[in-house]
Amino acid sequence: MTNNKTSVTYDAQDLWQKDRNHFIHPFTDFSLFHEKGCDLITNSEGIYVEDVRGNRFIDGIAGLWCVNVGHGRAEIGQAMADQATRMAYFSTFNNLSNAPATELAAKLAELAPSHLNHVFYSCGGSTANDATIRLVHYYFNRLGKPTKKHILSRNNAYHGTTYMAASLTGIASNNWEFDTLDHLVTHLSEANCYRRPEAMTEAEYCDHLVDELESAIERIGSDNIAAFIAEPIMGAGGVLMAPQGYHARMQAVCRANHILYIADEVVTGFGRLGHFFASEAVFDTQPDIINVAKGLSSGYAPLGATLISDELYAVLSTPQGLGGVLSTGFTYSGHPVSCAAALKNIEIIEREGICENVRDVGPYLERKLKTLAVHETVGDIRGSHFMMAIENVADKTTKELLPVEARVGDRVAAEAQKRGLIIRPVGHLSIISPPLIWSRQVVDEVVAILDEAFAATTLSLKADGYL
Ligand code: PMP
């Protein structure tokens, strides 16, 4: 790779050993880890990453849905280095502040829907969601409605892994053998057009989901419910597409019951669907709160933010007299180096027209991926713009899944990786969530690789007796 990085030589054997002995990886399958150890990614540039052996891959997952402006952006590195040497860290508690955090808050208020003008910083998506629920509870306590505590989430939602965020998460396998705060959360059905009840049209399915929300409110009582939280498109749960109009109708029901609507835009924000924020531009909703992370800094530094409406802020910021302090936040709330990275990242998104690129290349990616439907295991190809997934099935008509032991997602990902493309296997899904700088030419290259990868997967599944 040719960008102007200082070259470092790694001792791969030594690193593998240390990794195996000491690094507990998040979301680790220990059966595979003990056997295979890790893949060391050591270099990156633009749409590519390189492993320790010097193999180059197209990054089909933007790191982890986050490197929106692509890898190796020297100007983000420079902005971070400048800030780190000028003033790497100082508290933002007790009315102290720093210039990047202040500038970024103002910039986010400018970019967000017009009623969201106040920013609470955190360290990533989980902490943004966690902090949000504390703020929501605080808000209702201060309004004199202390019973409004319950949060409505959805099956297969992903909101993170701090205690509260994990409790909001509705992916059963993610919480396997972990505890959750069940007294605070109720999970409604996921909105999943592909696997909707067979006899229902999309419109009837939408009615059904809205009815379910109304029944839950009736059962639990609106006096006991604080908020509904939803990703505009469920990401880690499988890029699940809701029926047309779903979010706006869910929001209307929430509003009628004084239930706050929280949009978790950790994945959908910062261009992935062609806009800085998808809630209003794509889904016609005006959330009371939008949470962002990932693409906010394109992963160059950890950062999350909760964008809060004027109406909520008015309550949160009402003076309480002596002792009445908004006592929540993190050492790293508004970290100057992370905020400097985010400001430069946003400047690049605007300067290079990255949202426009997604609006142009995104529909092309969708169309080209749909050509993969010819493969025997490809049951559904779904998503929007640069947030796509392919669901593998044993039978396209019945939508029956392959057995878990077939590890179909892992097989497709391994076949793609052999051919120079990294995608993300999640169970029987193949997820594609690239940096937002892919061109049509890259899409053609990627789809050609995937075509071979799905063909090879079908052959290997047949050889092993799964098809
Ligand atoms: N919300 C959503 C929608 C996410 O996809 C994620 C991470 N994939 C999170 C929250 C949690 O973010 P983090 O891993 O930065 O804590």
Digit-coded pLDDT (tens) for 362-378: 999 999 999 999 999 99
- Expressed in angstroms and rounded, the spacing between residue 293 Cα and the centre of ligand 1 is 7
Enumerate domains of the chain plus CATH numbers: 12-69+353-463 (3.90.1150.10), 75-351 (3.40.640.10)
Query: Which of 231, 266, 424 is the pocket-test mutation for ligand 1 (most atoms within 8 Å of CB)?
Result: 266
What does the pLDDT read at residue 34?
A: 86
- Expressed in angstroms and rounded, the spacing between residue 220 Cα and the centre of ligand 1 is 27
Digit-coded pLDDT (tens) for 22-63: 999 999 988 888 888 889 999 999 999 999 999 999 999 999
Confidence of residue 5 (pLDDT cuts 50, 70, 90): low
Ligand 1 pocket, CB under 6 A: 124-126, 129, 158-160, 231, 235-236, 264, 266-267, 293
- Expressed in angstroms and rounded, the spacing between residue 301 Cα and the centre of ligand 1 is 14
Hey, whose CA ends up nearest to atom 1 of ligand 1?
A: 159
Other Cβ atoms closer than 10 A to 134: 15
Digit-coded pLDDT (tens) for 409-437: 999 999 999 999 999 999 999 999 999 99
CA 183 remoteness from chain centre: 25
Ligand 1 atom closest to the Cα of residue 265 is: 3
Query: Which of 25, 123, 126 is the pocket-test mutation for ligand 1 (most atoms within 8 Å of CB)?
Result: 126
- Expressed in angstroms and rounded, the spacing between residue 327 Cα and the centre of ligand 1 is 24
Query: Which of 267, 272, 338 is the pocket-test mutation for ligand 1 (most atoms within 8 Å of CB)?
Result: 267
- Expressed in angstroms and rounded, the spacing between residue 56 Cα and the centre of ligand 1 is 27
Digit-coded pLDDT (tens) for 212-264: 999 999 999 999 999 999 999 999 999 999 999 999 999 999 999 999 999 99
Digit-coded pLDDT (tens) for 105-129: 999 999 999 999 999 999 999 999 9
Ligand 1 atom closest to the Cα of residue 125 is: 12
- Expressed in angstroms and rounded, the spacing between residue 236 Cα and the centre of ligand 1 is 9
Q: Helix, strand, coil: what percent of the chain each, to 5?
A: 45, 15, 40
Query: How far lies 166's CA from each of 65, 161, 170, 302, in Å?
Result: 19, 4, 8, 19
- Expressed in angstroms and rounded, the spacing between residue 164 Cα and the centre of ligand 1 is 13
Query: Which of 61, 154, 158 is the pocket-test mutation for ligand 1 (most atoms within 8 Å of CB)?
Result: 158
Confidence of residue 3 (pLDDT cuts 50, 70, 90): low
Ligand 1 atom closest to the Cα of residue 162 is: 16
195: phi > 0 → left, psi -120 to 50 → alpha, else beta; which?
alpha
- Expressed in angstroms and rounded, the spacing between residue 64 Cα and the centre of ligand 1 is 9
3-state secondary structure of 206: helix
- Expressed in angstroms and rounded, the spacing between residue 304 Cα and the centre of ligand 1 is 9
Residue among 283, 187, 198 at smallest CA distance from 243: 283
What does the pLDDT read at residue 27?
A: 93
Q: How far apart are CA 38 and CA 22, in angstroms?
A: 12
Confidence of residue 92 (pLDDT cuts 50, 70, 90): very high
ipTM over cut 0.85: yes
- Expressed in angstroms and rounded, the spacing between residue 158 Cα and the centre of ligand 1 is 7
- Asked if the model's pLDDT at residue 4 lies above 60, the reply is no
- Expressed in angstroms and rounded, the spacing between residue 442 Cα and the centre of ligand 1 is 27
Q: How far apart are CA 307 and CA 286, in angstroms?
A: 12
- Expressed in angstroms and rounded, the spacing between residue 269 Cα and the centre of ligand 1 is 12
Hey, whose CA ends up nearest to atom 13 of ligand 1?
A: 125
Residue among 467, 423, 464, 429 at smallest CA distance from 447: 423
Q: What is the rounded average pLDDT of the residues 346-350?
A: 99
Residue among 425, 428, 420, 426 at smallest CA distance from 452: 420
What does the pLDDT read at residue 6?
A: 66
Ligand 1 atom closest to the Cα of residue 268 is: 3
Q: How far apart are CA 316 and CA 143, in angstroms?
A: 9
What does the pLDDT read at residue 330?
A: 98
Q: What is the dihedral of CA 145, 146, 150, 151, to 10 degrees?
A: 70
Query: Which of 25, 159, 229, 262 is the pocket-test mutation for ligand 1 (most atoms within 8 Å of CB)?
Result: 159
Hey, whose CA ends up nearest to atom 12 of ligand 1?
A: 125
What does the pLDDT read at residue 2?
A: 62
Digit-coded pLDDT (tens) for 171-219: 999 999 999 999 999 999 999 999 999 999 999 999 999 999 999 999 9
Question: Please, which residues have CB within 8 angstroms of residue 422's CB and are 6 or more apart in sequence?
Answer: 49, 57, 58, 59, 60, 61, 413, 416
Q: What is the rounded average pLDDT of the residues 308-324?
A: 90
Percent residues over pLDDT 90 in the chain:
93
Average pLDDT of the chain to the nearest whole number: 96
**What are the structure tokens assigned to 189, written together?**
């059905």
Q: What is the rounded average pLDDT of the residues 134-162?
A: 98
Digit-coded pLDDT (tens) for 273-305: 999 999 999 999 999 999 999 999 999 999 999
Ligand 1 atom closest to the Cα of residue 126 is: 16
Q: Can you give the length of the chain in residues?
A: 467
What does the pLDDT read at residue 216?
A: 98
439 secondary structure, DSSP code: -
Task: Give me the phi and psi of 383, to 5 degrees please.
Answer: 125, -170
